[in-house]
Chains A and B, each alone.
Chain A
């Protein structure tokens, strides 16, 4: 690793220490940004930056968690020689997830870091067209930032509508191409043929901000905090009974209990924590020592993803809360694919019947059957994510399921 490190011209400014990285500038303006981070390095070759990103272990922060260097390298390889086949890079700041706020906070407080990352990603892939897609408030902040500098004038801004699937990669491409943000069928990967048939990278804005830091300070610095399989820092959006979507920057692989404690949630009075948002999974309150890393979250069927944590207080019934989420997700289907349009409401209703109590003992199996029926059968992963969430509900609240089938609820009638 040190050989790669040597090839990087050292930044003129000292790297941020500790976990306060992305917001280290303290203010969204260009002067503060440059004072803290220095200018983005210009002398890096694509190979150098890709190597550094690979060594850093940076993965996507939009949910899928795909290795960033691989994504950029794929688009670079698919690039053709003409302007019509040159790659396109899209910064994705649309957070359809109602429990996520980190991308909005990032774009409002550190827009220059995101723009730096976007321009670096464009340079690495050889992109000739660069877009940024996000909600209106964030766009205003980005617009101010672009006006402060001369190198980001070419970034084309697009307003993202506010619904669950609007940030899905193919929906982002559709939104830019046709103005309608709904997912589309993909026979070939976006990295091969996306926007207008060109190789397309859709990258989360937090990922791009980290790219800007890795380019400046190197992979070794990036890995100086966090764990081996979850290096660096990541933004978390944490919610609980008295906490509404607090965004924190945390070291990778932080134990759940510490992340919750950091925003003042009393971890002794919890029933479970939803990790990874509505497409994620429940981790029961008995397991709060679990770290936010791919490896430790795998047994629960989730991953750090977009860094969304929702703590469910012990006074709530896990099944009742899950029914609300399952119904919400069913209603958020983009209404294109038969199995999703029909299967998600059916699954939510069986779960609701189960939660209502005293139903047939076959209801849990019916939920599992429907989850299997919808999984993999949509143009996007919305059915898969919804099925995963519902299955995790049955697992994490197993004793509640038994109680409800027997006709009582552990919470409302102990």
Chain B
């Protein structure tokens, strides 16, 4: 099984908050404006219903800080 995961390049992200608008409430802004997903760091699993929005966020991030990656998840038994 594969799943989409959104990778945040912190060296590029400037906390402009476009992604948090598109991917709220999955992503929220921390007190300095940078995106944050509860329980996750630089790689945020994206549920199927959010994948289209995540693609938009990748395309629109003004710093090209986002990328979508396919990650293999162990098949559920």
Task: Give A residues with C-beta under 8 Å from B.
Answer: 183-185, 187, 336-340, 342-343, 373, 375-379
Inter-subunit contact B9/A339 (CB<8 Å): no
Measured CA separation A185–B41 after assembly (Å)? 13
Task: Please judge, given known A-B contacts A185-B9, A377-B41, A377-B42, whether A338 and B34 are in contact too, CB under 8 Å.
Answer: yes
Task: List chain B residues, Cβ under 8 A from A373.
Answer: 30-31, 36
Inter-subunit contact A377/B9 (CB<8 Å): no
Q: Within the complex, what minimum Cβ distance (angstroms) separates A345 from chain B?
A: 11
Measured CA separation A216–B10 after assembly (Å)? 44
Task: Please judge, given known A-B contacts A376-B42, A378-B10, whether A342 and B69 are in contact too, CB under 8 Å.
Answer: no
Inter-subunit contact B30/A376 (CB<8 Å): no
Q: Which A residue sits closest to B69, measured CB to CB?
A: A187
* B4-15 Cβ-contact flags toward A at 8 Å (1 or 0): 000111111111
Q: Within the complex, what minimum Cβ distance (angstroms) separates A241 from chain B?
A: 37
Inter-subunit contact B14/A187 (CB<8 Å): no
Task: List chain B residues, Cβ under 8 A from A184.
Answer: 11
Q: Which B residue sits closest to A376, measured CB to CB?
A: B41
Inter-subunit contact A379/B7 (CB<8 Å): no
Task: List chain B residues, Cβ under 8 A from A336.
Answer: 10-11
Partner of A338, one of B7, B15, B40, B42: B15
Q: Within the complex, what minimum Cβ distance (angstroms) separates B25 from chain A?
A: 17
Tally of chain B residues near chain A (CB < 8 A): 20
Inter-subunit contact B36/A338 (CB<8 Å): no
Inter-subunit contact A377/B34 (CB<8 Å): yes
Q: Which of A187, A338, A343 is packed against the most chain B CB atoms within 10 Å? A: A338
Mostly, the A contact residues are loop
Q: Which B residue sits closest to A346, measured CB to CB?
A: B31
Inter-subunit contact B32/A187 (CB<8 Å): no
Measured CA separation A379–B43 after assembly (Å)? 11
Measured CA separation A379–B12 after assembly (Å)? 10
Task: Please judge, given known A-B contacts A187-B7, A377-B34, A377-B42, whether A338 and B67 are in contact too, CB under 8 Å.
Answer: no
Task: List chain A residues, Cβ under 8 A from B11.
Answer: 183-185, 336-337, 379
Inter-subunit contact B10/A376 (CB<8 Å): no
Inter-subunit contact B69/A338 (CB<8 Å): no
Measured CA separation A378–B14 after assembly (Å)? 13
Measured CA separation A339–B31 after assembly (Å)? 9
4 smallest A-B Cβ distances: which pairs?
Answer: A376-B41, A337-B10, A185-B9, A338-B34
List B residues 19-53 near A (Cβ within 8 Å).
30-34, 36, 40-42
5 further interface pairs, Cβ-Cβ under 8 Å (given A343-B30, A373-B36, A379-B10): A337-B11, A339-B30, A342-B32, A377-B36, A378-B10
Task: List chain B residues, Cβ under 8 A from A342.
Answer: 31-32, 34
* B42-77 Cβ-contact flags toward A at 8 Å (1 or 0): 100000000000000000000000010100000000
Inter-subunit contact B41/A338 (CB<8 Å): no
Task: Please judge, given known A-B contacts A185-B12, A338-B14, whether A375 and B7 are in contact too, CB under 8 Å.
Answer: no
Inter-subunit contact B7/A339 (CB<8 Å): no
Task: List chain B residues, Cβ under 8 A from A187.
Answer: 7, 9, 67, 69
Partner of A375, one of B12, B32, B41: B41
Inter-subunit contact B12/A339 (CB<8 Å): no
Inter-subunit contact A379/B34 (CB<8 Å): no
Q: Which A residue sits closest to B11, measured CB to CB?
A: A336
Measured CA separation A339–B40 after assembly (Å)? 13
Measured CA separation A338–B8 after assembly (Å)? 12
Q: Within the complex, what minimum Cβ distance (angstroms) separates A223 from chain B?
A: 32
Q: Within the complex, what minimum Cβ distance (angstroms) separates B67 from chain A?
A: 6
